[in-house]
Amino acid sequence: MTEHNIRLTASEMGFLWTQYENDTLTRCVLKYFKNKCEDKEILPIIEYSLDVTEKNIQELTGIFTNEKIPIPVGFTDEDVNINAPKLFTDIFKLYFLQNLAIIAMAGAGVAIGVSSREDVSKFFQKTLEEAKTLHDMCRKVNLSKGTYIRPPYISNPDKVHFVSKQRFLFDFFGKRKRPLTAIEITHLFINIQTNSMGKAMMMAFAQVCKGEDVKEFFIEGKGIANKHLKKFSSFLADGDLPAPMSWDSHVLDSTVAPFSDKLMMFLTTAMIATGIGNYGTAAGTCERMDLSATYTRLSAEITLYAEDGANIMIRHAWLEEPPQADDRQALIKQPK
């Protein structure tokens, strides 16, 4: 049988690199969470997540070694202080893991779609299954504790309706907007949830971070998240629909950093990137143009904020470069 030495494609290399960065960060967060968790229902979920993350890192390290690709630095034990006082409630940790599982399922789904090599495809299929398991564990415990946050309910349609007027899409200036569709409600709910978590995390990070520029970044981010929360909640309120709860009360009063400024900045910018993706998806699927325009405008705002974060990370030499295409012009100009 002929053996083929199939190289990694750019897509496979990029997703594997990103997975390593995310897994090493997650390992640090989970080590701290595990050391400070007191809830006997939540602790096994953290332990399951930590075990999965450790195995992923081992497997990714093996792939990089076999392919003679430098292993990324990522995050190490220097980026976490597991003995720092408790900064978040255990319920917040549970919701953080549930949100992490949602992001992981989305990322793994895309990675599977662009992976051609068998080992890479199987790795991301396994990652997807583990993320689904984690989400299910979080969902069940949240339901048992009465802390699961459900999207709003609406009445069942009485019959099939077709759009008959263009104002269904373009009623920018009408005093009375049409009711929100189920899809529009879903995206508002998702973006309220992610902004609420982001606001709480940046509030916590501002309490404990060491760098003054980092602290200012988190304070600004908290304000942006709060503004977006109010805007999205107002759309639900105008439709007489409830908005999800805030997570601010789940941040405790510790001022001792459990994580390095580098880790907190990376985690925050990763959440911003997820938020930009969520806004783009929402803008593309919402049929009420005032909603779509709002998502586009707010997306531009957080894109500029993300650039500020990247500049801080570059200034402190915290931003690791992902694999890049060959610079042919530079190669041509090299002295021979």
Q: What is the 3-state secondary structure (H, E, C) of 197-249?
A: HHHHHHHHHHHHCCCHHHHHHHHHHHHHHHHHHHHHHHHHHHCCCCCCCCCHH
d(CA 286, CA 281): 9
Q: Which two tokens stand for residue 149?
A: 């946050």
Residue 165 has pLDDT above 80, yes or no: no
Residue 170's pLDDT is: 62
Distances (CA, A) of 120 to 27, 69, 103: 21, 15, 19
| Main-chain dihedrals φ then ψ at residue 251, nearest 5 degrees | -95, 125
Domains and CATH numbers, the chain: 10-145 (1.20.1260.10), 174-315 (1.20.1260.10)
pTM: 0.91
pLDDT for the residue numbered 171:
58
Confidence of residue 1 (pLDDT cuts 50, 70, 90): very low
* pLDDT grade for 102, boundaries at 50, 70 and 90: very high
For all residues of the chain together, what is the average pLDDT? Answer: 91
pLDDT of residue 106: 92
Tell me the pLDDT tens digit for each residue of 125-145. Answer: 999 999 999 999 999 999 999
In this structure, of 12-21, 261-270, 301-310, 319-328, the range with the lowest mean pLDDT score is: 319-328
Q: What is the pLDDT of residues 299-310, one digit of tens each?
A: 999 999 999 999
Residue 2 is predicted with a pLDDT of 41
Structure tokens at 307: 């650039």
